Amino acid sequence: MQNVRKIGIIGASGFAGSEVLRLAVGHPGVEVVWATGNSEAGTAIGDLYPSLAAAYGDARFATFDASMLSEVDTVILGLPHGASQALVPALVDNVEFVIDLAADFRLRDPDQYTTWYGEPHTAPELLERFTYGLPELYRDELRSARFVAAPGCYPTTAIVGLAPVVAAGLIEPRGVIVDAASGVSGAGRPPKPNTTFCQVDEDFTAYGLMNHRHTPEMEAHTGASLLF
């Protein structure tokens, strides 16, 4: 019989967290025990995401409290960058597995957070304990990992394509150009003036050219020097 993991999702009301809710519905190995969304606390999951109404019934988003950790063995965080750093130090001592969907534990060098994210990392001692969650490269390491940092969207695209050809010596690993595009949902669920329908419909906008914060993540796992 398959061991069923009891999971809690912190930040489940956001787009990333809601995808975890959706994927969990069809996964025989997980049971969602609770889902938090502090800005939507008390709201039925199905009211915010009607496509999940049938699966989650009357279940509602909760406000996170540390006492809830005793009910689960796995916590998945779907929070904005920086927020996970405040919670993870308590999680690693109280649950068996932690998966962070943000960038908070993807980089090994704490100085890179100051350089690329504009603020120092508040839990640098934990960076080495997280495994980069890209099974195409780190499947063996992930089998025994307790703490996983899920890759970013652009890095996943770049690494899966570039890492094999760089490792095989098929291209020169300097000055590699990464030209990537994503949908506006990547900006998250909170409304912003520059992500409203009228601003983005039938439009295409460049941003973060030459200084995008995903650059060090891509370079670390491709072995290439990138222009992004």
What does the pLDDT look like over 138-153, one tens digit per residue?
999 999 999 999 999 9
Q: Write the pLDDT tens digit of every residue in 125-141.
A: 999 999 999 999 999 99
Alpha helices in 58-190 (DSSP H): 84-91, 111-117, 135-143, 153-167
Task: Tell me the domains of the chain and their CATH numbers.
Answer: 5-151 (3.40.50.720), 154-227 (3.30.360.10)
For 47-67, letters b (16+ CB in 10 Å) and e give ebbeebeebbeebbbbebeee
Q: Calculate mean pLDDT across residues 29-48.
A: 96
**95-104: pLDDT as tens digits:** 999 999 999 9
Residue 5 forms beta bridges with which residues? Answer: 30
Q: Using alpha carbons only, give the angle 128, 133, 139 rounded to the nearest 5 degrees.
A: 105
198 assigned to active site: no
Q: In the numeric block, which tokens belong to residue 96?
A: 């068996």
Catalytic residue among 153, 167, 181, 227: 153
d(CA 39, CA 43): 9
CA–CA distance, 84 with 205 (Å, rounded to integer)? 29
Predicted model pTM = 0.90
Query: How far is it, in rounded angstroms, from Cα 155 to Cα 90?
Result: 28
Beta carbons of 5 and 29 less than 8 angstroms apart:
yes
Whether the CB-CB separation of 32 and 24 falls below 8 Å is answered with yes
CA-wise closest residue to 165 among 175, 157, 173, 174: 173
Q: What is the pLDDT of residue 16?
A: 93
Q: Once rounded to an integer, what is the mean pLDDT over residues 188-202?
A: 72
Start-to-end C-alpha separation, the chain? 46
Place of tokens 């703490």: 147
